[in-house]
Amino acid sequence: MITTHMNGYVQEGTAQAASHRERAVDCPGDESCLVKPVHCSAQMERIQHYQDELRKRREEDSRGKHDIDPNASLRLRKLAQNPKVGVDNPTFEGKEHTTKDAITDLEELLQAIKWVQQYLSDARSHQDAELLIQLLANDDFKCAYSIYTVVSQKMNRVNPTSPLTAQAQELCLEVQKILQSSQQKEGLELRALLTNPHLQALMQAHDSLAVQEMAEDNVIQYLGKTVKMVRLHKTRDTPLGATVRNDMDSVMVSRVVKGGTAEHSGLLNEGDEILEINGISLRGKHVNEVHDLLQQMHGTLTFLLIPSSQIKSAPHRQTVMHVRADFDYDPSDDPFVPCRELGLSFQKGDILHVISQDDPNWWQAYRDGDEENQLLAGLIPGKCFQQQRETLKRTTPDRSREQQGKRWYVKKNKQQKKKSTSLCKNAESEDVLTYEEMSLYHQPANRKRPIALIAPTNSGHDELRRRLLVVEPNKFAVAVPHTTRSARIHERNGREYHFVNRQSFEDDLSAGKFIESGEYGKNLYGTSTDSVRHVVNSGRICLLCLHTRSLKVLRSSNLKPFVIFIAPPSQERLRTLLATEGKTPKPEDLMEVIEKAREMEQDFGHVFDATIVNAEPNEAFFELRRLIEKLDTEPQWVPTSWLC
C-alpha cells in the first residue's frame, strides 16, 4: 500500500494507482473489469429512499404533464394510409379544429377568391388569382394543409420545452432494429429517414438538451445539502470522459474531459461528489472500484450528486490555441501526469490543438489530424508547468526526476499564485523549449516562402538545390551573396556577388543583416536577408542551403522560410552515394555526417517543417518538389508571431 499526498487529500492504493491522483472513468482504452457486488450503507439507504421519492414525484409529474397516447402508432398508420389525416381520430375531436374544419376553411377561401376574381380587371391580377384557385383546389395541397392543422394543434398542446425523453437516439435505434426485417414500403422509408445523418444529429442535439432540461427539475434539498440527480447516456462510442478522485471516503469528480458525454451535457462538474450511480452507493469506494464499476455500465446512468460548493466562475470563452510542441512527451514515462490513461503523447514538431487551459498545469488537447479518431481530449503539460519542471531538472541534476517533481508540487501548493507566475518567468528566461503558438498561413502567389535546406555537409542538399535551379530556372533562384574579395574580370557587382569592403561587411554582420557568413581565403562571404528578400519580391522561390546556426536569424527575419531537413541515409548507403560523385570518405567521416545530422535533429527538429531522408536522390528530389508545390495549394502552420 502506498500513500500519496495530493491537494489536501490522501489517496491510498496500489503502486500503479498511487502514482496517479485521478482515475479516468469510462475513457477509451480502459480495460474491462468485472463488476464487484455493491452494498449500500445505512446513510446511503436514506439517500436512496429520498431518491425513490424523487423518482415517484417525477413519474407523477410526467404523467400529469404528458399523456402518453396509446393510439400513437395507430394514428401513424392511418396517416400513411389515409391522405385525409386524422379525420376520424377522436384525439382531435371536440373543441379542437379538426381536419374536416380545415378542409371547410379551404373551401371557403377558394370560394372567396373565385368571387374576388370576377371583379379583377387587369390580366395580371386575374392570373394570380387563378394560380391561387388552382393551388387551393389541389388534393396534395389540401392534404398537406390538413396535416399542418393537426400537427400544429398537437404542438400547441405539448409544451415544447418539456422533453418527454432524453433517449430519442436510443428509441431511434430500437425502431431501426424492429424495422430491419420489414420489407414494406413504409418500413423501408422510415428506416431511410431514421438513418439520415441530419435526423440523427437532430436527435443527438435533442437528447443533450433534454438531459439538461430534465436535470433542472432534479435539484432537491436533503439534510441541508443540495442533492442533484442527473442522467447521462453512455454508449461505447460516446465515453463519459471524466476523472474521479477520493476525498476521504467520498468520490469526487476531479476533471471533466472535453469531448465526452459529461462535458457535452454540462451536468457533471469538477468538485461534485458522486453519491450514487444507478442506485449504487459510491461512498467509501476507491477510485479504482469506481472505474471498474463504470466500465460495466452502459445506457442511461443516473448520478446522485452533491454539487460542488465552489462558486463557479463564468465559463471561459473556449478558444482553441494551436501550438507546435518543441519537446517530446510520453505520458507513460511521466510520473506526474494526473491521469495516465488520458495523457497524450506527442513528438517535437507535432501540432497540437489546445482546447482547454482551465487547469493551467494540465491542458487538454488533440493532436493535429487525430481529431476524428481521438474521442476525448488528452492531457498535456501546461506551458508554465513544463517550463518549471524542466528548469528544476536543470538546476538539480543530481536529484531523481521523481524527487524534483515532488519538490515542485510542494512549492506550488505552498506558494501564492503570484510566486508561481514569477517562477514561470524565470523558467522562460532560461529558454526552455515548450510550445510555440501557431497559425495557418497560405503563401500569396506573388510572395513565395524561401526554402531553406538544412543538412550536414555531404548529405546532398546542394545537389538537390542545383537540380531545382536547372529544372525550373524561372521559378527558383538563389540570393546573391556578399563578399569582400575583388571582382573577377567576368563578374558584375550584384550578379555573382555584392562586392563590398571589409568594414562595410563587418558593420552589416554586427547589425545582424546576414543570415549566414564565413571566411574563405582571407575573404569574407555571406548571404544577407535583403538579398533573400530581393528574390522573394521578384516572385521567385529563394533556395537556401544552410547550417542550423542560421535558423535563428532567418526565422526572426519575417521572410517566413519553409525549413526542410535533408537527412543522410545509413552509413553504407551514404558511402555508395558519395562514391558516385567520386568521393571516398573514411568511415569516421561518414559517421561524423550521421552524428552531425542526429545533433541537428535533436537541437532543431522542432523548427523543421519537413524532413527528407536522402537515400534515393531521385525520390528525394520528387519529394522536395511535392513539398514545395504543396505550399501553393495548402495553408501551412507557421508561428503566430510571424503574422503579427
CA-nearest of 542, 541, 512, 543 to 526 is: 512
Report the residue number, 188 or 487, with the smaller CB distance to ligand 5GP. Answer: 487
Query: CB neighbours of 616 closer than 8 A, spacing ≥ 6?
Result: none
Q: Which residue has 560523385 as its cell numbers? A: 581
- By three-state DSSP, how is residue 283 classified? coil
Closest to ligand 5GP by CB, 104 vs 457, is 457
Q: How far is the CB of 489 from ligand 5GP (least distance, A)?
A: 13
Q: Residue 514 Cβ, how far from ligand 5GP at the closest point, in Å?
A: 9
- Largest Cα–Cα distance of the chain, in whole Å? 110
Q: How far is the CB of 481 from ligand 5GP (least distance, A)?
A: 3
Nearer to ligand 5GP, 246 or 458 (CB): 458
Rounded to whole angstroms, the Cα distance separating 94 from 554 reads 83
* Rounded least distance, CB 443 to ligand 5GP, Å: 25
Angle (CA) 343-347-351 rounded to 5° is: 90
Rg (CA), the chain: 36
Please say which residue, 353 or 540, places its beta carbon nearer to ligand 5GP: 540
CA-CA distance, 221 to 157, in Å (whole number)?
32
**C-beta of 407: minimal distance to ligand 5GP in Å?**
47
CB of 535 to ligand 5GP, least distance (A): 13
- The Cα 378–Cα 502 span in angstroms is 56
For β-strands 541-546 and 476-477, DSSP reports them as: parallel
Which residue type is seen at 583? Answer: K
Cβ distance to ligand 5GP smaller for residue 526 or 568: 526
Report d(CA 418, CA 181) in Å as an integer.
Answer: 67
Q: How far is the CB of 490 from ligand 5GP (least distance, A)?
A: 11
CA distance 264 to 240: 9
335/518 with CB nearer ligand 5GP: 518
Phi, psi of 425 (to 5 degrees): -65, -40
> Looking at beta carbons only, is 478 or 638 nearer to ligand 5GP?
478
Q: Is the Cβ–Cβ distance between 532 and 559 less than 8 Å?
A: yes
- Give the span between the Cα atoms of 553 and 529, in whole angstroms: 9
Find the shortest distance in angstroms from Cβ 540 to ligand 5GP: 18
307, 228 Cβ separation under 8 angstroms: yes
Q: How far apart are CA 545 and CA 464, in angstroms?
A: 10
* CB distance 271 to 245 below 8 Å: no
Which one, 177 or 488, has the nearer CB to ligand 5GP? 488
> How far is it, in rounded angstroms, from Cα 247 to Cα 290?
13
CB under 8 Å to 566, separation ≥6 — which residues?
453, 454, 455, 459, 460, 461, 464, 611, 612, 614, 620
Least gap, CB of 530 to ligand 5GP (angstroms): 13
Nearer to ligand 5GP, 150 or 546 (CB): 546
H or E stretch at 546: strand 541-546
All cell numbers assigned to 416: 501564492
One DSSP character per residue, 403-444 reads HHHHHHHHHHHHS-HHHHHHHHHHHHHTT---EEEEEEE---
CB of 608 to ligand 5GP, least distance (A): 21
How many Å from the N-terminal Cα to the C-terminal Cα in the chain?
54
Minimum CB separation from ligand 5GP for residue 519, in Å? 8
What is the contact surface with ligand 5GP in residues (CB under 6 A)? 481, 485, 516-518, 520, 525-527
- Residue (434 or 517) nearer to ligand 5GP, CB: 517
Instruction: Give whichever of 319 and 486 is closer to ligand 5GP, judged by the CB atom.
Output: 486
For residues 517 and 507, give the distance between their C-alpha atoms in angstroms, rounded to a whole number: 13
- Distance of closest approach, residue 585 Cβ to ligand 5GP, in angstroms: 18
Rounded to a whole number of angstroms, the minimum distance from the CB of residue 557 to ligand 5GP is 16
Q: Which residue is nearest to ligand 5GP (CB)?
A: 481
Please give the grid coordinates belonging to residue 82.
389515409
Name the grid cell of 239. 465515453
